Structure 1
């Protein structure tokens, strides 16, 4: 039983299905709205999705950017460039994609067997005994199975049931939005990830939906709201003020926004325990990360593949040990990537002075860890039963 039909939950359902295990995904919402910003899929995740049979659909809805460019915020001059595209695929054996999170979600939803996802199931309690795990829903329904996995995101209710947690505001707010591709025709003609940086803030954009739309995200100082929300109301004006005097491409992108979402970032320490008996966690529920190393979705896919492999030979009696093996094999990697995201935020949020030195610092962080992060194959990670 998987709680949450997001990227992590659906990737796990697909990996379990491919390995011959039965599962059900319980989703609290009534349906799935096609709203969301972009996501970057690095080779360590794309190689796994290709093996799960999603290659053709990924190619239809994504873009393979040629490079990542870092530019000075106000005058737009190039500070640093990192090749992606063919060079990254040649080096790591899998593509680097940019796509809409909603498109990735849709193709995962299409790939799982019909009837796997049950909507309007809001899980409020978990009870475990020697024979089974029972999930209790807000409307009185109960769902019974051998294993329960929380894939319900950063604000995971399953994680809260397992262990209370503490978090602190990061002091940063992230805005995410979408604009039509016509607002940035040069990006469609020469696809790439472009990042403008200035003192204590940055703005990034890249093509998605086969180049038909552009996704952007921006970080500015400030606590922002709690869980965050999607709406255009007032957010464009806030961004215009925050990036006043910046390069024309930044302000033109903001002016063309169709959707804008706002999130106050919470800086969470690594979750101390991912499992308890036959209950476990995957994705953001297990390791909520800051978005600055762009590995959140990638690590969710890795979790799904490793957990499915650990459960492949498990029985109702050994499922708890299988969950423990999964957590033990994943913790060191996700903790290290969690630390990289925190380091990247500290560099990006640095106040004062010209930003010229920061692209080099960020590039050094990426270069030092590129082979270890992008070259990783989670299929080889799962320990034997």
Structure 2
């Protein structure tokens, strides 16, 4: 039973129409909280980004929001994760998604396709008026609305170029790693933190590799590694979209400046800049050099995050997703955690008054994501994989001649730490859906 009974549900403003913000809007609507407005800084929502992975925990939540069919139509159900030496030798392989015992798949999908699904659902379910674009939040303030209900707490969200603020009972900051809501909440925090690793990313059309459902991590030496996976099924010509990332500890002095926004991270770079880090690499199952050379656009980005916060709430203001807990992409888990945040917050708001709900949401999610942040910063299982490189720099035929089985088994526990949940726990957990 909703704590609001027949009373009017709270007015909720969400800043940010990314994966976290749109999932929050859908989750609130599904929980019977219909007075929701999403305010997005971009004047128009366009298809941007590259591939992402959705862990089974997130796929479960999107399924319970009624999006399973749409998601399955654009995504690849990832079946395996494999680690390979830079000369192609297999170091480790493990099942993912349903093959690993989950009741839901793990999906690899283009971020733009996922956002389109979420955006279409928000417009269809909440109405087109539930989304305002071109509204860049600059700050918020709290207090009692002049002439309003006695004792009613109001948040005023000030948007650039708008003569009057949006007033609401709850402001949800889902506005990303450079969140204006977080900056208002913690004005002395400063910019994101870089770790000295640069990432080059692109999406290339090409033939699928291995079984067409495998994510591979290649290289894993002390400085450079690459990640590749399909984000679409093969088309009539047998080609699909391949997402790829190359990571390198560059030591070029740019890391801290780039993290602080001193460099143009939205510019395209030539393939030669990336290929220089992969000289001599080879593989009989993946033409990584050809994929990179054929990318229509390559972007360079810093690997950045932020230190964990002591609290995500300030009165009737709360953080969610990357605004609350930005993570390195090493665990393929950032978008998934934002989706879980959205579902937990909506569930608590449907069952408790706003203040109690925010307290419960923070108690459930902040410790878990703080642990995940620490696991992502350890960059595991890279230490094990660097050991392989040190022992067999010229490659190998059988990894068990390089490392014993029990040492390799440690990789599995590492990957579980950066996804945050095992199959048994997720399958057994009760649903966060709300009967309305």
What TM-score comes out, normalization by structure 2 length?
0.79
User: 185, 190, 193: which is aligned to 2:212?
Assistant: 190
Counterpart CA distance in 2 for 1:233 and 1:49 is 35
Note closer, same or farther for the CA distance 1:191–1:367 as it changes in structure 2 (3 Å cut).
Answer: same
Cα deviations across residues 199-235 of structure 1 (Å, max 9, x unaligned)? 322101111133420111121013453456444333x
User: 150, 154, 157: which is aligned to 2:180?
Assistant: 157
Q: Is the CA contact (8 Å cut-off) linking 1:177 and 1:217 kept in structure 2? A: yes
Cα deviations across residues 77-126 of structure 1 (Å, max 9, x unaligned)? 111111125412xx121111100111111100011122211001111121
Q: Is the CA contact (8 Å cut-off) linking 2:376 and 2:418 kept in structure 1? A: no
Note closer, same or farther for the CA distance 1:7–1:373 as it changes in structure 2 (3 Å cut).
Answer: farther
Counterpart CA distance in 2 for 1:321 and 1:256 is 52
Per-residue deviation at 1:371?
Answer: 7.8
Counterpart CA distance in 1 for 2:42 and 2:430 is 32
Per-residue deviation at 1:266?
Answer: 2.3
Counterpart CA distance in 2 for 1:322 and 1:158 is 19
Per-residue deviation at 1:24?
Answer: 0.4
User: 326, 334, 345: which is aligned to 2:369?
Assistant: 334
Report matched runs for 1:41-190 at 5 Å.
41-73=54-86, 75-84=87-96, 86-88=98-100, 91-112=101-122, 113=126, 114-130=128-144, 131=152, 132-139=154-161, 140-163=163-186, 164-166=188-190, 167-180=192-205, 182=206, 184-186=207-209, 190=212
Q: Secondary structure at the match of 1:353?
A: helix
Counterpart CA distance in 1 for 2:325 and 2:249 is 24
2:15 match: 3
User: 315, 319, 327: which is aligned to 1:281?
Assistant: 319
Report matched runs for 1:230-309 at 5 Å.
230-234=266-270, 236-247=271-282, 249-309=287-347
Q: Secondary structure at the match of 1:11?
A: helix
Note closer, same or farther for the CA distance 1:373–1:281 as it changes in structure 2 (3 Å cut).
Answer: farther
Note closer, same or farther for the CA distance 1:201–1:359 as it changes in structure 2 (3 Å cut).
Answer: farther
Note closer, same or farther for the CA distance 1:304–1:28 as it changes in structure 2 (3 Å cut).
Answer: same
User: 379, 382, 395: which is aligned to 1:344?
Assistant: 379
Per-residue deviation at 1:345?
Answer: 5.5
**Aligned-pair Cα RMSD in Å:** 2.5
1:36 match: 49
Note closer, same or farther for the CA distance 1:371–1:29 as it changes in structure 2 (3 Å cut).
Answer: closer
User: 333, 349, 358: which is aligned to 1:311?
Assistant: 349
Tell me whether 325-334 or 42-51 shows the greater mean CA deviation: 325-334
Aligned residues: 372
Q: Structure 1 regions of 5+ residues with no counterpart? A: none
2:398 match: none
Cα deviations across residues 235-254 of structure 1 (Å, max 9, x unaligned)? x1111101111125221221
2:24 match: 12
Cα deviations across residues 164-199 of structure 1 (Å, max 9, x unaligned)? 32453201111221000x2x3335x53211110223
Q: Structure 2 regions of 5+ residues with no counterpart? A: 1-12, 145-151, 235-239, 393-401
Q: Is the CA contact (8 Å cut-off) linking 2:174 and 2:319 kept in structure 1? A: yes
Note closer, same or farther for the CA distance 1:52–1:165 as it changes in structure 2 (3 Å cut).
Answer: same
Q: Is the CA contact (8 Å cut-off) linking 2:81 and 2:93 kept in structure 1? A: yes
Q: Is the CA contact (8 Å cut-off) linking 1:65 and 1:85 kept in structure 2? A: yes
Note closer, same or farther for the CA distance 1:202–1:27 as it changes in structure 2 (3 Å cut).
Answer: same
User: 384, 397, 413: which is aligned to 1:364?
Assistant: 413
Counterpart CA distance in 1 for 2:97 and 2:318 is 36
